[in-house]
Amino acid sequence: MTTESHHPGLQRPALHTQPPRGASAWVEIDVAAIAANVRELRRRSSPAQLMAVVKADAYGHGVDVAARAALAGGAQWLGVAQLSEAIELRDSGIDAPLLSWIYPPEADLATAIRRDITLGIGARAHLASVARAARAVGRAATVHLKVDTGLGRGGVLEDLDAVLDDLAPLLAEGALTMGGTWSHFAFADAPDHPTVRAQQERFGEVLRLMEARGIPTGVAHLANSAATLTNPSAHFDMVRPGLAIYGLSPVPDLGRPEDFGLREAMRVRARLTTVKRARAGQGVSYAHQYVTDRDTVLGIVPVGYADGVPRSASSAGPVRVGERTLTVAGRICMDQFVVDLGPDFDGAEGDVVTLLGVGVAGEPTAQDWAVAAGTINYEIVTRMGPRLPRVVVGEA
Ligand SMILES: *Cc1c(COP(=O)(O)O)cnc(C)c1O
């Protein structure tokens, strides 16, 4: 099976059911894990609804398959950042409730309204442009008002009263329908941080203010993955997890995926393309950051920073070879890196090695790579590039 992108202009990796013949590296997506993770998150947050966040090609997992797996696991909503991502989901035949929250003033809001895409309203100017598009289409636009309760990023901050003043007549006119009210945390991954409680209280205040003014709040939602897992008092009417759906921990200091009943959905595998002997004292890869300390066997792993393997994990990233976890030897290059397989290595070209996998199975994880690269697990999975074919495993 191979499918092409439905939306010209967005580059998507091809989907397969087997590693394609001759592929030197690929990403496996366990759709059963995504569905099971959503079921677990639903169990923890019900009766709140769940919006599965599938922006950025479902954090690198492939939006088509990930969105369907999340819906199969019980997600009632899908969330994406850019409007182009929402339109692509509609083009691929997904008709679930869908929220999009990033669009410029000149975006094709009429198409969004016609295709039943709910729009986040993060600024006073958005209200007017969405209402104008709704009048042109001849149909109400459903909106979720985004309030900045302290993140200091998107959302209405100081001019809430003015926005509510603008909003009331647009609702009365029928240009807009209030579908929801929402906000986002600054420190969800530090549940005891004082801003968490402060933002939650501010959010409650805004909801009460709207009710007092006779403006329906619709579905209230605030919790990302970290708050879904660690802060039930922030669940409100709906939770909005992304990372946890893919089986990664948003709070690695507080728990591993398995501690939350989650399983990693992405595995990254590659075939050794070269296996060769080298003498002690051989410098390895650019700038000879690694030098062999004995006669040994070197293996070439054909993925590099062009594929999303971070160069900052040079001499640090973990690779599973058979029953051993080795460390990248020297610099990670654009298309490849080297591992020192040791003098007794008895494998050969074509052997499969694992960069990312399931922690409980002893495989390196996105979190291990994040530590090696000085970043977060989100960035590791999200950057896995389109040159790596996606192989769908399991059944949602
Ligand atoms: C990305 C995003 C989410 C999901 O965050 P996770 O930490 O991945 O759960 C939720 N809400 C908003 C506004 C986002 O941008």
pLDDT in tens, 192-231: 999 999 999 999 999 999 999 999 999 999 999 999 999 9
Pocket test for ligand 1, best of 41, 49, 53 (most atoms within 8 A of CB): 53
Q: What is the span of the domain harbouring residue 132? A: 47-246
Mean pLDDT of 360-387: 97
Same domain assignment for residues 57 and 187: yes
Answer yes or no: is pLDDT of 261 > 80: yes
Instruction: Give the residue, by CA position, lying nearest to ligand 1 atom 10.
Output: 224
What's the CA-to-centroid distance between 98 and ligand 1, angstroms? 14
Domain contains 144: yes
Q: What is the pLDDT of residue 10?
A: 61
Same domain assignment for residues 73 and 196: yes
Distance of CA 325 to the CA centre of its chain: 26
Residue 271 assigned to a binding site: no
Q: For 336-355, how does the pLDDT look when each residue is reduced to its tens digit (9 = 90+)?
A: 999 999 999 999 999 999 99
User: Counting beta carbons within 10 angstroms of the beta carbon of residue 138, is it exposed (0 to 12), middle (13 to 18) or buried (19 or more)?
Assistant: exposed
Domain contains 39: no
Mean pLDDT of 52-71: 97
Same domain assignment for residues 112 and 74: yes
pLDDT averaged over every residue in the chain: 96
Q: Look at the chain and report how many structural domains it folds into.
A: 2
Instruction: Please report where in the chains the tokens 């494998």 appear, as a residue.
Output: 347
Please name which of 363, 370, 352, 386 lies closest in space to residue 310, comparing C-alpha atoms.
Answer: 370
End-to-end CA distance of the chain: 17
Which residues does the annotation mark as catalytic? 55, 286
Q: Which atom of ligand 1 is nearest to the CA of 241?
A: 9
Instruction: Give the residue, by CA position, lying nearest to ligand 1 atom 13.
Output: 184
What's the CA-to-centroid distance between 60 and ligand 1, angstroms? 14
> pTM to 2 decimals?
0.96
**Ligand 1 pocket check for 224: Cβ under 6 Å:** yes
What's the CA-to-centroid distance between 154 and ligand 1, angstroms? 12
Looking at 212, 246, 280, the residue that finishes a domain is: 246
Same domain assignment for residues 212 and 275: no
Answer yes or no: is pLDDT of 158 > 80: yes
Same domain assignment for residues 215 and 271: no
Q: Which atom of ligand 1 is nearest to the CA of 244?
A: 9
Give the pair of three-digit tokens for residue 296: 């040994």
